[in-house]
Each structure stands twice: as structure tokens, then as C-alpha cells.
Structure 1
């Protein structure tokens, strides 16, 4: 049996996409509120869900450092339980929907329990913040050839409040003080590249105003403009990305 802290940001992003539109009040409510606000600001006219790479950048990456640390702590706690209480004790207290009666592991996923016979070939145990419930994933080459049991981690109120508070919010406030609210908004909305017209629509400012702010940011090395035929697309430079991450 092996313990991993996560199957990676891409895996959590796919799960997060499924959780975003849930109307329920739970430990993800604050995350949903912040992500929906970002999506409205960056893609105000969108009728379709954003591209996964855009969603990942807005919904998961800003929180990933804290998410990863929390999942690492969860993995370490499980490993300690196995050492002190044994495998059976640890698995039977892992999640209410998981039951271990050697050599069978029973996983309830809302569609009835699934019973797995573990014959000594090994298994991965992986916590997840965005999984709705326990998942069984068959062995794949990108998971050391072992099947994986992913179990959802629930957050208490204090942990959730800390987890969804990002350094990005402190950065955004500092940027507003430094650049002014409109110019900081232009920089922020170019996390998703766009034309001057796109910026104007996203921020509800005039095209001349958007063009002026982009020019200032371009001279500062925070934004670059790529021209294809008659279309000019503005995007963040590496320095611009670093400023928003700092």
C-alpha cells in the first residue's frame, strides 16, 4: 500500500469543474463564490463553460499551494494511523463510505457499494479536495501501475476560511494601490488573452481607455501584443505573470 498526497492539479481540476455549479452550501461555497466572480470578470459574455486550461488558471492554480499542503498533511496523517493502528484501523476510519474486511475493500459511491478484492498487488490511497466521494481508479501507467482509491477530504470552517484566502487577493489590493483600480483590472483580466475590444467588454470601459491602459502596461513590460492580420491580441508577459503571482 502506498500513500500519495494528490494525483495532480489536472486531476483536481477535472473534479473541480464538476463541483463549481453545485448549489449546495458546504466547505467549497467560498471557493465557488470567488471562482464564479473571476469567471464573470474575465468571460462576462460566455454561455459555455470555459476551456479547461482557463478554468484551471482561474479556479485551481491560485489556491494550489495551500491545497497541496493540506493534502500532504492528510497523507502524512493517514500514514501515521497505519503505523500506530494498522491497516484495518486506518482504512475503516478513512471515510464513512469505505469499509475494510480483509481482503475486501468496500467503497460506497452513491450508486451502491463496490467490493474490491485486494490480493497483495498493491494499492494507492490518495486524498482529494474536490472529489464528491470515494472513487476507485483502475491501474494506469501514470500511477505506478497500481489501482488507486481516492477519498474526499472534508474541511472544517477554519480550514476552509484559510484555504480559500489566497495570496493573490493581497497582491490584487497592492496592485490596485500601485496601478490604480482600472489598470490593475486590465492586467488581471489579461490572464486570459484578448483584444482591446475584449478588455473593454470585460471591464465595461471604453475602447480608447482600454487601449491607453494596455499601452502603459506594455511599456512597463507587463503585457505584450501579438498581431495576426488585422487582429491584435494582448497577453501577459512572463513579468506580468510574475507580478500577479507575487
Structure 2
């Protein structure tokens, strides 16, 4: 078993001769919360696409707990243990919050069968824990279609957690959120740190400061720098390419 939950080795992809991701190597430890920073076009989302199987790489490897999952079909990557959340949430809008989590947690493929017969005692216990974690216990019987934007985002994060992936990929999880919702999202991720391996792409610098253990900065498809918040702020290459003179904003 590898010491790393996720490892990228010289990973790259080209589109019509343009190197969108150019030889990225990255190691994320078990239980680590890693943040990916970079300007638009730096290759962050493309890198997530390569990891999740949405895009096939031109070269390099993706290793999940030491197992090579490079260029597997997207559904096979998901089955192997990569869970991904996109900017636009995807939930079962006609089901309640609790029913959504139950469907995500069970291995029974039939949604109707799950709803008719229930999810089992162990699954119910796990659902209760997730509801507490994402702060939706009081709304568990509300239809998902009636949730606010932030609540829907938290529910989708709960769906990923319920599936028990080895690594969770989050693409701008605070997009469209209020400051209060952003703070709560930071609290949820901080509660997961150490228990769940998470890779986050985010532009909200105050949010990044709240959650980041280690930051990897991408620039023109390559790793420009890696380190703590303080190290990244002080790196002259990062300041020139991305942060400017302002550094990473202090928490709200």
C-alpha cells in the first residue's frame, strides 16, 4: 500500500499541440487537504479531468493508493475511489435530503427498491453522521429542490462522503456562496481533514487561508511552487505569476 492517497507522475496532455498540463508530478498524503491555485488557463480543471478519467492523458501516470488508474474510463475511476464534485451541484431534486444520502450510501443499484425497503441500520447511522457533519440534520426531510444554493452544495458534498471514496476532488466548492456559506463550507472541510483525502481547486483566497495545509500552484500547465500558505505568499515566482502584491487574503 502506497503512503500516498494520490500520486501524479509526469502527467500531461496536449490539445492540438498546446500543452494544457505539462509534466505535473504531485503527491497527496492520506487524509491531506491539498489546494490547487493558479490563474485561469493554468491547467487546474484539466488536471482534475485527467485524474477523474474525463480526459485521457498524453503521458504520465495517475496512482490511487499505489494502483495505476491512468486513462481508465471515468466510471471505472469513480469505482476505484475517486469522487468528484463540480461547480454545478447534481442531486436528486425530487428526493428528500435524507433519501439522497441513502441512495448514495447504498450499493443497491435500484433507487426505487432503496426507497421502498429502507437503507438498513448501519446505513441510517452513517447518514445521521453525515447530516450532522454537513449541517443539514434539521432539513433531512426537506425535498432537495427546496434547498438554497449553499445547502445544495453541502448535500452534494455529503453524497460524495456517503460513497466513501479514497480521494475527493472539489472544483471551486464555494462558487456562488455568501460569506456565511463559505465559512460553513470551510468548517465542513476542516472537520474532514485527516479523515478524508481532498484536493480542492479554489479562487477564494480567504477560504484558501482557512482550509489550506499545503498549496500547489500551477502556471502554464506546470507546477510553479508548493508549500504552506506562508511559503506560497513569500515565493517571488508566485507573486509575479498569480498573487501580485496582495498575498493570500486574511479570513473573513
TM category (shorter chain) comes to under 0.3
Q: TM-score, normalised by structure 2?
A: 0.23
- With CA pairs under 8 Å and 6+ residues apart, which has the higher RCO, 1 or 2? 2
Bigger-Rg structure (1/2): 1
Higher strand share: 2
Higher helix share: 1
